[in-house]
Structure 1
Amino acid sequence: MKNKKKSTKFIFGAIIIYLGYTFINQQIAINNKKAILSQCENQLKEVSEENKDLLDEVKMSNTYKYVEKLARERLGFIKQGETVVISEEK
């Protein structure tokens, strides 16, 4: 009779330890997945903002003023009758 009680206590103890171990491992896995999800959401937000900026730039690039601005800044073009002023900064 004592052996039966000891064996059932041992089995219940082993089951409780196994369930505790499984629960802890699942919680660790869930926390890791949440961290990865948060990281992916942050990346999505950054990419969405960058995409919005690029779409705005595409819309703006279709205007004459933007093309004129790029030509002046990058290519050094000037309008007829304008005087070019070059400053030397040290």
Structure 2
Amino acid sequence: MIEDDDLVPFEFSDFWDEEEDDTDTQPIEPDYIDRQIACIPQYGDDSRWRLASYLDMFADLNPDGSLSNEQREAIDNFVLGYQYKMTNQPIGLDK
């Protein structure tokens, strides 16, 4: 018969906590971002949606490729900020 002294102590407090799995995360590729930004004038929301999906910008991104006005504006603001950061000069800002 097994006695209590024979059992190995086990801590249950974090047994069901999920550990973060970084194996699914992909590195952010600036080249991909640049290509999608360059395609926005020609493909519009399709390139915006691909960029938002790649960067995981929105939890409620429509799987059909459509964007709300707020999402479109947020992506365009990201593009302006990204281009400014990469070139240190504003691109496409009307003053």
Shared fold (TM-score greater than 0.5)? no
Q: Which has the higher contact order (CA 8 A, sep 6+)?
A: 2
Instruction: Compute the TM-score of the two structures, normalised by the length of structure 1.
Output: 0.29
